[in-house]
Structure 1
Amino acid sequence: MAINRVFVIVLDSCGMGAAPDAGEFGDHDCNTLRSIVSSKEYSTPNMKKIGLFNIDGVDYAEKEALPLGAFARLQEKSRGKDTTIGHWEIAGIVSPDALPTYPNGFPADVIAELERAFGRKILCNKPYSGTKVIHDYGQEHEKTGALIVYTSADSVLQIAAHEDVVPLEKLYEYCRIARKIMHGNHSVGRIIARPFIGKYPNYERTPHRHDFSLLPPADTMLDVLQKKGFATICVGKISDIFAGRGVGQYIPIEGNEDGMKKTIAILGKDFKGLCFVNLVDFDMKYGHRRDVDGYARAATVFDKQLGEFMGKMRAGDVLMITADHGCDPKAPGTDHTREYVPLLILGKAIKAGVNLGTRPTFADIAATVTDIFGVHLKTQGMSMADKILL
């Protein structure tokens, strides 16, 4: 059966157990999926039917007797546990070096250069929660016009500003300036615009966030598919993560539910190629905030929408569901966690019940997608097509 369309949906941060090298990343007994399965709010019958609980290492949920799809557990080979590194690996790039992080804030010379370039002073310069930082520094920002610059455990430089103080386009301009400055040893994965609105103490972040990412260091599955004339439709922050490269069509979203609604709508379109989707709420709203029940509810809502998606798939469609790292809501701290991730594969052309075991790299996804479309990608990943296609 000819495959015309592949949908890769990334459940951002939905890891499934500590990787063998988790200790090197400061993580130990972490398991995002196990943590949310324990919540009374959790119910994902559709993912269960595909084979989620049949994956290696799952001993805390009932297995499906006759799984509908193929399934695997993937280990990250790259030296990182952040969004950029994880997505790059899904798309075919294994990164031997971690991107720089700043647990003590950015160096004084970097801050001085940013202030000169912005023509504004900088507040904070520490790792901080995005909602707490605007609460703690928002008033001073409004009074002085100084920009709130902060980071996290990820390789990011984030700039927060009130939309009434710094118009959106001006904030984006500051981010582009910062992107040019943060190179070489300071090549952070993402510069993120974090606009907010409201009055103290009720500030709110707006959906106008925008990421300015590093260019991937090599071709990804998006690049090679686009060069060969295949569609590359990117839903959510995929376009930001890949700095727009290889992106044929960008579809912005406002949260997981909106992202799935738009992805379901894409099922009604005629195209040949890849639809690559990121659902960031799992990570941003629930994982980092260590909200077990919220994460579980979000998974439950996704699964209901997945049922609608499955019902509308065409004969030549393949669905892959995976994640880019973990963010265990029961782990200490607020950081990502170094975990295996799941892979579920479904479609009329896919063999049912195939356990692909534990795979050594997320890049097996890119190798498989490009193999399905007969396109060559230089990658450390190995195609699974011969094991899963009827």
Structure 2
Amino acid sequence: MRVLGLMSGTSADGIDAVLVEFKGDPSKPKWKILNTGSYEYPSSIREKIIQVGQGLKINNKEWLELAEEITELNALAARTCDPDSTAKVVGCHGQTLFHRSVKKNKRGGSLQILLGPLLANILDQIVVYDFRSKDIASGGHGAPLVALADEALVGRLYGWRGVLNLGGIANLTIIPPKTGIERTSECLGWDCGPANSLIDLAIKESTNSSLKFDLNGALAFRGIPKLNIIEKWLKEPFFNLGPPRSTGREQFGIQDLQKRKKELGDLSKEDLLSTLTTFTASIISQDLDNLFRFRKIRLIELLVAGGGTRNLFLMRQLQKQCCGVYVRPINEIGIPSQFREALVFATLSWWNFLGKKVNPKYITGANKPLVYGVRVDP
């Protein structure tokens, strides 16, 4: 069965589309990518998405127009990737504008903006969208949903395997081995903290918006990270919470950046970027250390996906700090790094079509197996 997956993440740089053919057992499918495509957001839309995510107040008319525009851009991305509408189902994540993690007795919340029925009618295809609300209603964080499908897509090894996504936010999936006493263990997953969110905001601010990101980590390579400050940051309560754990740009956005810059004092942009990039790698490294300390799980391999894989300084820091773990890009096992999340939402949409339930207990913390997404027919 052919499924089209559409995804735009917290970096809000655009929409990734992937057309996939699925066959066989839904839990261990045979899958093949038939086409991929990306549609970059116009800069005005990207700015508005980021600003609204940071608390900018807009009126009802502007909300509606933003939702319509994002829906129409998703339709454009879908048509570009699958011009003959060969997909039986289109799975569309929509654009996250706000995320609230679960705290004590307060439920979580997550807002993805998309007009699903409008998209179904523009494309004249079945659309599955709104993937997070059922999970949140069942007591879960609604994130990281990519971890629900990683095992089915990536498979198991003879030891514990990790999948790391470096988008605006970093998240980890931990996949059990296929043999031995640990083969009956459950897949784990959680949000780690900032990946590119603080780095991208910092470079934009320090170059008066002339640069959107640190190309290849070139500026970070030229700086010296403030390791004593990083060590202090790693002791913050969020980074020491056990999973399930989720976060977003609301927590690690412009206000958080300003607070950290104040602590760092007067630094060159190179030193600032080197510090923030090393901080991202240190968060991942600490999470893996805690995984061993509390659960006695040690990875043999970490597959890395997302825009952060293109940051060579970040990748080098991960390889340096995650001792004893084989760190490599997910491209090397046949999953294009940029399209891994779109592939996951194509998978969740296929499962929705089949009525397949997923147990999210050890990933999002939701209290029952769920069919993810809401289906709407044209």
- Fold match by TM threshold 0.5: no
Structure with the larger helix share = 2
TM range (shorter): 0.3 to 0.5
| Higher relative contact order structure (alpha carbons within 8 Å, sequence separation ≥ 6) | 1
User: TM-score under structure 2 normalisation?
Assistant: 0.35
